[in-house]
Amino acid sequence: MSRFFDGTRGGSPRNAHAPHARGRHRMSALVGAAAASVVLTLGLAMPAAAAPPGGPSPLPQLSAAQPGTLKACESLVDFAFPSTKITQVSRVAAGTVSNGGQPIGEHCLVRGTMNERVSTFDGQTYAIGFEMRLPSAWAGRFLYQGNGGLDGSVAPALGATRGGESGLQMGFAVISSDAGHNGSQNPLFGREPQARLDYGYQAVGTLTPMAKALITDAYGRGPDRSYITGGSNGGRHTMVAAARYADQYDGFLAISPGFNLPQAAVAQLWGAQQWARVATTPADLSTAFTPTERTLVAQAILARCDGLDGLADGMVQNSATCQQAFSIKRDVPRCTGERNGTCLTKEQQAVIGEIFAGAHTSNNKEIYSSFPFDPGLTQSGWAGWKFGSPITRDAPAVGFIFTTPPADPSILADLQGYALGFDVDTEAAKIYATSGIYTESSMSFMTPPDPTHLDTLRDRGAKMIVIHGASDGVFSPDDTAAWFDELDRNNRGNAEQFARYFEVPGMGHVAGGPATDQHHGLAALVDWVEQGSAPDQLIASVNPANPEVPATWSPTRTRPLCVYPQVAQYVSGDPESASSFACERPRPGLAYGAR
């Protein structure tokens, strides 16, 4: 997390732990990682061994959910709950919708709104829109599906995660929402005080008891176990829920979480300004670092780091050591003439190095975390986040949602001018500010309060899995690793009892890139929560529909995702199979292929 400002959050200093910026010092986190264990099919691990004498006290074990049958569907149109209006109820036949090419079974679809109101600020009508899908064959579980971006639309409540069955296919009753505003209100809803708070955290808190009551009416009893998941902003919703609503949920699956979203958005504006320094076409920031040049850098990273795990396979598993081994200035040729894709200019090397080191003010105070160098930067999604999103997404988000007081709507006429003219030395502090009717800063309503002291989650036996791509172009896995490091320190090295972090080499934001990005994270979480089987590995596979998977890879390639700070090391056998790897603590400088 950033150490830029001294604002407080949940009683803990906002700079309580520094990120891995200026070198990504992950090696300090290698404390007591367990040896790799044999992994069962579908990426579910063997049950964790009992705590040794003198070790941490065992945490409560939650009981398994019990199945049930849908008792009511059409009659749910009469469902009564405070400030709730049901607008549609219908039965959906099996096979009407699908996930991963597989049909989803019969279920009941319920749509509605909560807390509809006319704003005294802008005269617009706001409401928390939602959709619930209730399977006829119920597993006794509830899943909150956190959606991404600025929200504003109700995505189908399928409970989809990457690679495995969706929550609805697994028998979960699933809810999805727009977080309190509709698409036509993006991004100016950020100027409406209550809409800000709903987007940040209150929509989840409002919807949760209503959803459980609706489940009770539909099945004759409430859910035995409740889960929440999401990627990107949905991952942020999940992280926020782990801190604010740990008494309401038993399992938390956060993918590529932007849990310090206001900081990351400011960093994006700062990054746009750096790219503009070396862009050959000022209106097109992507000309600062072209696809050919990104491929050049990716190849240089692979030349230094691909073999650190004992196998040259186009993937950097030992990312921590790679950050020590790779240098953008030393390992990428410097141009002596014109840019032609075979070199970088001195100015490009400086800008790229600065951006990966992390956003900072003119006097070098940190704004947001560093990013790791990873060959996944070749992907189009990485470029989209770095070059396009600062103008189209981050500028309006910073201006209207994260800045207090918010900017005037006139900035919409020239978002690029706003982004490139944003003075981080003076304006960045406004993400910590309150003013008049804006009683919470964006760093208060958007981020999880006290995220490294998840005592409620821990003490009631709930569990948390966080997954992040090493080539995420907007939310840094370094920030996520720093979060886990601090969580672990606050739990005397025992955070793995209830929370585990997995990094995915090559993966971009949420998915994609030259990566094995498909996993069964939700199934692993359920197994951990309800059976006590802690996931020492997740088995990840290639998405055959991903165009950025190299043609030289087998379409059936699998790799173990290891519990941080362990990394996958090649042992022997089929180089395309996860079974040929073991999760081990990274040891700098050791050639793992020579055993």
269-288: burial string, b at 16+ Cβ within 10 Å, e else = bbbbbbbbebbeeeeebbbb
d(CA 401, CA 441): 10
Distance CA(191)–CA(410), nearest Å, equals: 13
Task: For residue 368, give the 3-state DSSP assignment.
Answer: coil
CA 73-138-212 angle, 5° bins: 70
**Interatomic CA distance for residues 467 and 469, integer angstroms:** 7
Name the region of 89 (left: φ>0; alpha: ψ -120 to 50; beta: rest): beta
Active site residue 479: no
**Strand-pair partners of 13:** 8
**Domain ranges across the chain:** 68-133+146-221, 262-438
- Using the CB atoms, write b or e for 19-32: b if 16+ within 10 Å: bbbeebbbbebeee
- Angle between helix axes 203-219 and 233-244 (nearest 10 degrees) is 80
Single out the residue of 315, 318, 232 nearest to residue 515, CA to CA. Answer: 315
Contacts of 588 (CB under 8 A, 6+ apart): 27, 321, 324
For residues 23 and 371, the answer to whether their CB atoms sit within 8 Å is: no
Beta carbons of 96 and 35 less than 8 angstroms apart? no
**At residue 149, what are phi and psi to the nearest 5 degrees?**
60, -140
User: What's the confidence (pLDDT) of residue 205?
Assistant: 98
Q: List Cα–Cα distances, 465 to 55, 164, 249, 322, 501, in angstroms.
A: 22, 15, 13, 25, 6
By DSSP bridging, strand 251-255 and strand 225-231 are parallel
Is 25 designated active site?
A: no
Calculate ∠ Cα 14-447-160, nearest 5°.
Answer: 145
Nearest to 11 by CA among 447, 485, 449, 454: 449
Q: Cis peptide leading into 52, omega within 30 of 0?
A: no
Neighbours of 77 (CB within 10 A): 13
Is the Cα torsion angle 19, 23, 29, 35 positive or negative in sign? positive
On whether the CB atoms of residues 68 and 134 are closer than 8 A, the answer is no
How many other C-beta atoms can be found within 10 angstroms of the C-beta atom of residue 56? 14
> What is residue 100's predicted lDDT score, i.e. its pLDDT?
82
Strands 107-118 and 251-255: unpaired
Q: Are 140 and 225 in contact (CB under 8 A)?
A: yes
pLDDT of the residue at 37: 30
Cα–Cα nearest to 552, from 575, 581, 569: 575
Q: 560 preceded by cis ω (within 30°)?
A: no
Chain-centroid distance of CA 151 in Å reads 15
Instruction: Let me know if 468 is a catalytic residue.
Output: no
Residue count (the chain): 595
Q: pLDDT value at position 49?
A: 38
First to last CA, the chain: 38
CA R_g for the chain? 23
- How far is the C-alpha of 545 from the C-alpha of 529, rounded, in Å? 31
Burial (Cβ within 10 Å: 0-12, 13-18, ≥19) of residue 192:
buried
The residue from 2, 166, 232, 476 that is catalytic is 232
Tokens of 232: 């990107």
Strand partners, 268: none
Q: Do the beta carbons of residue 506 and residue 542 sit within 8 Å? A: no
Beta carbons of 9 and 447 less than 8 angstroms apart: yes
Angle at 398 between CA 397 and CA 402, to 5 degrees: 95
Task: Please pick, among 509, 517, 520, 527, the residue that the annotation labels catalytic.
Answer: 509
Which pLDDT value is given to residue 161?
87
Residue 440 burial (10 A CB sphere; 0-12, 13-18, 19+): middle
Annotated catalytic residue, options 306, 394, 472, 485? 472
DSSP 209-228: HHHHHHHHHHHSS--SEEEE
pLDDT along the chain (595 residues), means of 10: 38 33 36 30 36 70 98 97 98 94 95 98 98 98 96 96 87 98 97 98 98 98 98 97 98 98 98 98 96 98 96 96 96 96 98 98 96 98 98 98 98 98 97 98 98 97 98 98 97 97 98 96 97 97 94 97 97 97 78 31
